[in-house]
Amino acid sequence: MPEVSIIIPCYNQGQWLEEAVTSALAQDHGDFEVILINDGSTDPVTRRIFDAIEHPLVRKKTTPNQGLAAARNEGVALAAGRYILPLDSDDRIDPTYARKAAAVLNARSDVGIVYCLAEFFGEESGLWELEDFEFPGILTSPRIFATAMYRRADWEKVGGYRPDMIYGWEDYDFWLSLIATGVRVHRLDEVLFFYRRTQGSMAGLDRTKALYSYRKLFEHHRDLYADNIGVLFESVIDAKPVRDQRRPRAKLEVFIPDREEAYAGRNTREQFYPVGVWARVAILLDGVPDAGIHRLRVDPTDRVAVVDVASIRMLDPANGAVLWDIRTAPGGFDGLVLGHGTLRLPEADGLRLFCSHTDGLFFLPKVDQRVLDRPLILEVWVRQHANLDPVTAVLGRQYEADRAEREHAQLVEARARLEGDVQTLQGEIVKLREHAHQLEQVAMSARTEAGRVQAEFHNLQASLKLTEAEKVRIQGIVEARDAEVSGLNKDIQSLNEQLRVEQENRARLERRLAQVERSPLRRWTSFLRKE
């Protein structure tokens, strides 16, 4: 049985999977295994790479897509090691990490979590400057990354990772579960973990997702937060001045097709920009597919907004070349898609969009095939007005009025459908009541029949009692008769014995008579009678 199990879940990250597995197999611990979980990957490349990985220390399992928490639980459930070390499929670990972390757990029974310092690699390098672990500070912000070692027994004790952490932080929630059991946390003060930084990684949660995740943390660890409520108030007080001074932001979103030329959420790049000023937004694209088509969406902060776009350029950072440039000149922005709730306003010095209900969307040109194999930069000069002028305000109210009218029509239609559903339900209720009445009648008949059967049962019981008494009386008569028969049999035996004696006596007399008949005296007597 291995001492350490390294768990690597994977979902559509096959381009980095081999690198992660190689770093896991390079451990100098000497007693470990690697568990790979394919969490229902849809990418053919990922599936092919996953299936091709074969090694004596590697065990694999493919499951339907359930999310990262469930995938990690699948891996731990399959693991045979005493200690568990999770590793994401796009990250790496130092060859000494498993050995050094396991040594701490072996030496200190009070320690339940061992982590280390970490560095970024990929599109960004440098030390990952996480806040030092301390309790109760971890209740307000995660301070331990997912790739930390713990005991499998502790995983069983707390019930594993919770699948309802759907927006991430499943590791954060899991660490709080372990900490609540009283285990201590130890950090190895050397860089043993390497986190791949890409566009969109560590982007954080938006407000809605963050509120959901914090709410789940509180639900799962209610006592832990209640006992340390003071630290929550301190964090609110400390953060309030910063929040009050923060300027509103909007964002640009770039959609990149995958190899099947389909647009998926994982291929989205986001970049925020300030509201009220011109801003240069540079979005790093780590790879342009052969399809070469990108969609750029302007996503305002408010439902009703006015956005100016001066230019959209694709740059090659390797040599500073401009691959294409869309500006406000005639013919520019021909790839703009104006949907319902988006209006192109006349403006002499540039493109001006009025956005209400939907966002402005651009289809971007292809790039030269020769640069598809290296990162590119999408540069956008954009400005969103902080305040709407009277004209756009009127337009905005008109769009909002139209939207309200559409929503009203939808509500009327929905109400009509509901009324129809209510009528249908009322009919069903009438049928159910009739059926209930029939069932009540059947029940009454059943109760009557049950009374009759019970009366018959009582009669049978009474008859049975009489029968038992008669049986006893007859048994007495039979026993008396048996006694009489026994006496008669004895008399018969006595008579038979007397008869036997009489027969024996008769036989003796007959023998005696025969002897007499043969005697001389009998002959002489007979002679005299003749004379």
Peptide bond into 241 cis (omega under 30): no
Q: Taking Cα atoms as reference points, which of 53, 66, 56, 103 lies closest to residue 83?
A: 103
9-23, 236-250, 434-448, 473-487 — most confident range? 9-23
Percent above pLDDT 90 for the chain: 28
Question: Is pLDDT above 60 for 177?
Answer: yes
90-104, 121-135, 257-271, 344-358 — most confident range? 90-104
Question: Is pLDDT above 80 for 119?
Answer: yes
Q: Taking Cα atoms as reference points, which of 13, 181, 19, 161 lies closest to residue 86?
A: 161
Is the separation of the CB atoms in 88 and 20 below 8 Å?
A: yes
- More confident position, 264 or 56: 56
Average pLDDT over residues 41-58: 92
Secondary structure class of 315 (helix, strand, coil): strand
Distance CA 87, CA 201 (A): 15
pLDDT band at 23 (very low <50, low <70, confident <90, very high): very high
pLDDT band at 260 (very low <50, low <70, confident <90, very high): low
At 462-507, the pLDDT tens digits run: 777 777 777 888 888 878 888 887 888 888 888 888 888 888 888 8
At 449-474, the pLDDT tens digits run: 888 888 888 888 877 777 777 788 88
At 75-103, the pLDDT tens digits run: 999 999 999 999 999 999 999 999 999 99
Average pLDDT over residues 400-425: 76
Q: Taking Cα atoms as reference points, which of 22, 26, 21, 23 lies closest to residue 37?
A: 21
Helix (H) / strand (E) containing 244 = helix 229-245
Question: What are φ and ψ of residue 401, in 5° steps?
Answer: -65, -45
Distance CA 104, CA 442 (A): 74
Q: What is the set of domains in the chain, with CATH numbers?
A: 4-244 (3.90.550.10), 249-388 (no CATH)
